[in-house]
């Protein structure tokens, strides 16, 4: 007969080994706060008042909004290893399990109203684009208004949200980057996706990626405040995947078909239609009527 104590001891060892394996696996992918701060310090980032890191949270954008409601006074950075309720544009869910991606929100106060922020979403995409290209992803392109693509596969998405609090306009810059997706995670996304680990043989650490994007975004926000979007117009058009191609713009029940002629000085998409040149300030771009839903 096997003694009860021996069984308990064996089970305890198995459980301990399992926990250690899980911990080691998690440590391969979770955010190391000290490394992140070191990378930020290397770039002399002084404008961030607070860095908030979480192993899991509902949404980094939601946490950013809570910080605003609680009366923060300056720029804040929120990063999570996983999100239980990550969200993308147009109410879509953003697949956010631990280790699969970078989930980052930057909170920034502006002294101008909503009208003065035209084109800021595109500036955010350009910032992530420049940072990731500098890390080695040279084939990276842009899709209006703020997606990053490699071929026709999405690498990164952006969600900007505005909050008015204490007579000030706050912008929450939400950025998600696919870092290392499993086969099942790719399938759950429901559209072509790609990750950093797939396009780079030696991908950067998640901390290095987060710092690079944050630094580039802060620099470009400063440029945007000084000069508006017109400074970024040429850069956007040079990396726009669908420039000079026939596209569909879907905005609610409205659908416009035409030739993509680039973006104007405010970040609006220029669409050459049978009715003439139109400026599009909102909606979703599809490369074909079929992909827009028939």
**200-206 long-range Cβ contacts below 8 angstroms, 24+ apart:** 200/135, 200/136, 200/137, 202/136, 203/179, 204/135, 205/32, 205/35, 206/29, 206/31, 206/102, 206/179
Two structure tokens written together for 139: 């084939």
Which residues in the chain show pLDDT less than 50?
1-2, 4, 6-28, 90
Residue 264's φ and ψ, nearest 5 degrees, are -90, -170
Taking the C-alpha atoms of residue 294 and residue 271, their distance in angstroms, rounded to an integer, is 20
Boundaries of every domain in the chain: 25-238, 242-286
Two structure tokens written together for 127: 């910032």
Q: How distant, in Å, are the alpha carbons of 1, 2, 12, 19, 20 from that of 8? A: 14, 11, 6, 16, 18
Tell which residue, 257, 290, 262, has the closest CA to residue 275: 257
Question: Per CATH, is 25-238 categorized as 3.20.20.10?
Answer: no
How do residues 253-287 score in pLDDT, each as one tens digit?
999 999 999 999 999 999 999 999 999 999 999 99
As a whole number, the mean pLDDT across the chain is 86
How do residues 83-102 score in pLDDT, each as one tens digit?
887 655 545 555 566 678 99
How do residues 146-176 score in pLDDT, each as one tens digit?
999 999 999 999 999 999 887 789 999 999 9
Q: Are 79 and 56 in contact (CB under 8 A)?
A: no
CATH of domain 242-286: 2.30.30.100
Two structure tokens written together for 216: 């580039």
Residue 87: what pLDDT?
A: 57
């Amino acid at each position: 007969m096997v003694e009860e104590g021996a069984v308990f001891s064996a089970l305890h060892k198995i459980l301990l080994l399992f926990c250690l394996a899980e911990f080691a696996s998690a440590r391969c992918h979770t955010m190391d706060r000290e490394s992140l701060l070191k990378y930020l310090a290397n770039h002399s980032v002084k404008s961030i008042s607070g860095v908030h890191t979480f192993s899991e949270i509902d949404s980094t954008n939601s946490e950013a909004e809570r910080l605003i409601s609680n009366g923060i006074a300056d720029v804040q950075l929120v990063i999570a290893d996983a999100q239980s309720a990550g969200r993308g544009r147009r109410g879509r869910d953003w697949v956010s399990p631990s280790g699969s991606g970078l989930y980052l929100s930057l909170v920034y106060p502006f002294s101008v109203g909503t009208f003065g922020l035209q084109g800021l979403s595109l500036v955010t995409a350009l910032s992530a684009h420049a940072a990731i290209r500098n890390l080695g992803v040279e084939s990276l392109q842009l899709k209006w208004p703020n997606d990053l693509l490699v071929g026709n596969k999405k690498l990164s998405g952006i969600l900007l949200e505005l909050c008015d609090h204490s007579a000030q306009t706050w912008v929450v810059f939400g950025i998600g980057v696919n870092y290392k997706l499993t086969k099942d995670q790719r399938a759950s996304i429901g559209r072509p996706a790609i990750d950093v680990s797939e396009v780079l043989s030696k991908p950067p650490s998640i901390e290095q990626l987060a710092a690079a994007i944050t630094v580039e975004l802060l620099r470009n926000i400063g440029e945007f405040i000084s000069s508006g979007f017109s400074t970024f117009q040429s850069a956007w058009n040079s990396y726009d995947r669908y420039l000079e191609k026939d596209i569909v713009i879907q905005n609610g029940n409205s659908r416009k078909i035409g030739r993509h002629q680039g973006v104007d000085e405010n970040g609006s998409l220029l669409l050459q239609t049978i009715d003439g040149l139109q400026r599009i300030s909102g909606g979703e771009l599809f490369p074909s009527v079929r992909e827009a839903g028939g």
